[in-house]
Chain A
């Protein structure tokens, strides 16, 4: 069971002459089996926090621990490996590979996972397609799908290597209400299945699904709101 701890996290961006403090001494813990929501105004630093947890950005100061192991100090290759095995990322813009069909997009992370044989990969793709209810779209290209379907493919891809942590940055930002619900429900189900799910959203809907809610304000993280 994974446990994530963010300790004294500072992040500053240099924008021309101006320095933006995107994270100001953030301290927070996330546990497995729960779904966390991070809400807040645009530009408050939500994404920055999430990308840093996802090892896609580096903190200016502070550390991130996965199961008490300091992962902010790992090298590129070790971080890549961790992203592959432990982290599934879901983006607002889906970020699917537009040259690959749905099933191939889901296969993509499995190529670099030595634990899968060719047969197991196929099996896994089929299972994910079924679980996310997009089995009939397996041979379509992303451009032929609706936003909701695209996001479900992205979730399938994020789940391909069976990571412990699911990070979602505004996963419903480009979706209508109906699809919003579907996605939130999937995320909720995943947390109930034992995964640690962190969702960034300024959609008030998320409050219904989240176990814990944090608010980001100008780079500072508020205490648990509920």
Chain B
């Protein structure tokens, strides 16, 4: 039997049972539509939450203090006296230590700035690269970027602004100056900073190394706390008050997000605080329940449809058998027919979804035009659930799972039901429907 003929039979079955097929297609499409919508709401909520987090981050200040001078409790007590500041958290400080701005100027291809020598976490440099070597010998060892654009002063002298091939430095000693201090490192390897963690090629020094140096020099050590300010407008006030307390060590207070977001923050805040955390939790709960119900319903309905369809076609199957179709041929005709229905249902659901999306977009635009002014419409759309981009914002991988699982369920249930019919005598299926 030719493939075309299978298709022909499945196609005519659907075409000539327009009403029944339409009902099945509609049910399938509604199921998928529900799946798409709950998936969309979920994705949008995630987006919204992200925005909320940015909003909170906009209002957070990180304060470095000297931990020899003050204990954690003392600092928290002190900050507690400041108005408008709350949610004080201690930052675990061991993996993050900065030696800012103490090196000479360097030039990259695009920018002018300062070399930073940063302590980094163990993960970034990776134990496998450097192993235990850090603690051996007198020299501190280091791995450096493959390419360095620098003119800083080292014992291995580099004066020009060319790109230095870090690999040429392997085995050499380099000196890095931190103010008056000079640290000598032996280069034991290179890494590609851009490639590994998409960072500029800055010289990274292992945290332990710096800790060892600092301990041996009996240097002061800083810790930091993070403070959340209640309103964006109050950041300046809190800033000044903290400075007045005299607890700040070395570094000034800094916000956790970049300037750009900081500037936008007052505008955003108004929108984001339309929904507060508690409401958000409630919505999330409802969505969670909705999702479970949708999935459960989808699976059971799809399950029932496929069984019902096959049972309904029992006589048809009997006829196919009586005139000599083999079990495999019948199985394929029926599976193709149900897959065709499924396919049409999915197409329809996507179509419905795009229409609904259009209506929603139009409605929200209208609302925005009337109710909100001051910032561009596009900006708000971006903030409010990314309306203009809803179809793209669906988690397609998840949708793919839903579709995949449904197809598998339909495939398995129809196959099992058909096989059960085929296992019985032909007469059985013919007799039933006389």
Within 8 A of A (CB), among B391-427: 425-427
A61 within 8 A of B: no
Asked whether A95 lies within 8 Å of B319 as measured between CB atoms, the reply is yes
A89 within 8 A of B: yes
B362 within 8 A of A: no
Give the residues in chain A near B68, CB-CB below 8 Å: none
Q: Which of B13, B17, B324, B430 contacts A109 (CB 8 A)?
A: B324
Asked whether B323 lies within 8 Å of A89 as measured between CB atoms, the reply is yes
Give the residues in chain A near B13, CB-CB below 8 Å: 99
- Known A56-B426, A95-B430, A100-B12; judge A157-B323 contact (CB<8 A): yes
B1 within 8 A of A: yes
Asked whether B327 lies within 8 Å of A83 as measured between CB atoms, the reply is no
Within 8 A of B (CB), among A83-98: 83-85, 87, 89, 91, 93, 95-97
Closest beta carbon of chain B to A14's beta carbon, Å: 13
Asked whether A56 lies within 8 Å of B329 as measured between CB atoms, the reply is no
A162 within 8 A of B: no
Give the residues in chain A near B430, CB-CB below 8 Å: 91, 93, 95
Q: Which of A62-70, A74-82, A218-226 is found at the contact surface with chain B?
A: A74-82
- Residues of A within 8 Å of B, CB-based: how many? 31
A146 to B434, CA, bound (A): 17
A57 within 8 A of B: yes
A80 to B331, CA, bound (A): 14
B325 within 8 A of A: yes
A185 to B336, CA, bound (A): 41
- Residues of B within 8 Å of A, CB-based: how many? 27
Within 8 A of A (CB), among B302-338: 315-316, 318-329
B258 within 8 A of A: no
B217 within 8 A of A: no
Asked whether B323 lies within 8 Å of A51 as measured between CB atoms, the reply is no
Task: Annotate B1-20 by CB proximity to A: 1 below 8 A, 0 otherwise.
Answer: 11001000100110011000
Closest beta carbon of chain A to B315's beta carbon, Å: 7
Asked whether B322 lies within 8 Å of A83 as measured between CB atoms, the reply is yes
A95 to B323, CA, bound (A): 10
Task: Annotate B284-311 by CB proximity to A: 1 below 8 A, 0 otherwise.
Answer: 0000000000000000000000000000
Asked whether B324 lies within 8 Å of A83 as measured between CB atoms, the reply is yes
A85 to B323, CA, bound (A): 9
A104 within 8 A of B: yes
Chain A's closest residue to B2 (CB) is A111
Closest beta carbon of chain B to A76's beta carbon, Å: 6
Q: Which of B12, B319, B327, B425 contacts A80 (CB 8 A)?
A: B327
Asked whether B326 lies within 8 Å of A81 as measured between CB atoms, the reply is yes
- Known A56-B425, A58-B425, A97-B316; judge A80-B16 contact (CB<8 A): no
A95 to B327, CA, bound (A): 18
A100 to B324, CA, bound (A): 17
Asked whether B324 lies within 8 Å of A95 as measured between CB atoms, the reply is no
- Known A91-B430, A97-B319, A99-B13; judge A84-B1 contact (CB<8 A): no
A81 to B16, CA, bound (A): 28
A104 to B427, CA, bound (A): 23
A84 to B323, CA, bound (A): 6
Give the residues in chain B near A96, CB-CB below 8 Å: 319
A81 to B320, CA, bound (A): 12
A131 within 8 A of B: no
Asked whether B322 lies within 8 Å of A111 as measured between CB atoms, the reply is no
- Known A111-B1, A112-B329; judge A57-B323 contact (CB<8 A): no
A87 to B316, CA, bound (A): 19
A108 to B324, CA, bound (A): 10
Q: Which of A85, A89, A100, A104 contacts B322 (CB 8 A)?
A: A89
Asked whether B427 lies within 8 Å of A56 as measured between CB atoms, the reply is yes
Closest beta carbon of chain A to B108's beta carbon, Å: 72
Give the residues in chain B near A91, CB-CB below 8 Å: 322, 430
Asked whether B326 lies within 8 Å of A77 as measured between CB atoms, the reply is yes
Asked whether B322 lies within 8 Å of A56 as measured between CB atoms, the reply is yes
Chain A's closest residue to B319 (CB) is A95
Q: Which of B9, B17, B315, B324 contacts A81 (CB 8 A)?
A: B324
Give the residues in chain A near B12, CB-CB below 8 Å: 99-100, 104
Q: Which of B319, B324, B327, B328 contacts A85 (CB 8 A)?
A: B324
Asked whether A112 lies within 8 Å of B324 as measured between CB atoms, the reply is yes
Asked whether A83 lies within 8 Å of B16 as measured between CB atoms, the reply is no
By a beta-carbon cutoff of 8 Å, the part of chain B in contact with chain A is 1-2, 5, 9, 12-13, 16-17, 315-316, 318-329, 425-427, 430, 434
Task: Please name the 3 residue pairs, one residue from A and one from B, whose CB atoms are nearest each other, closest first.
Answer: A84-B324, A83-B324, A56-B426
12 new A-B pairs (CB below 8 Å) besides A83-B321, A97-B316?
A: A54-B322, A56-B427, A57-B426, A76-B327, A81-B324, A81-B326, A95-B318, A96-B319, A104-B12, A111-B5, A112-B325, A158-B323
